Amino acid sequence: MYQEDFDKLLQKVDRLTSVVEELASEQRRIYHSKEYTRKQAAEALGMSLRWLDALKAAGKIGHIDNDGKITFTQKHLDEYRAHYDVPAKKSLLK
């Protein structure tokens, strides 16, 4: 009796694991496929187009060059933010 219940529970866990893996895969696909124009990327990062173009030319932000049409993915924006994010030196709570 207990073995049957345990086996059923394991089957449910396997199905749930499969669903979670599918959702994670879909989330990664969406994360990497969302593309921003130069203007949208500059706005998202709070900078001018000229500054964004300078960062791109200097190799400081990743991008996609599709026959001269430049776009940025969410991953490119997040990597830029993570690399250039400067934490506060002192806590405001002290």
pTM as predicted: 0.61
Give 33-67 pLDDT, tens digit per residue.
789 999 999 999 999 999 999 999 999 999 999 89
Helix (H, G, I), strand (E, B) or coil at 1: coil
Residues 38/52, Cβ–Cβ less than 8 Å:
yes
CA pseudo-torsion sign 15, 17, 21, 26: positive
Q: Report the mean per-residue pLDDT for the chain.
A: 88
CA pseudo-torsion sign 58, 64, 65, 70: negative
| Distance of alpha carbon 94 from alpha carbon 77, whole angstroms | 32
Ranges of each domain in the chain = 1-33, 34-85
CA pseudo-torsion sign 61, 65, 68, 70: negative
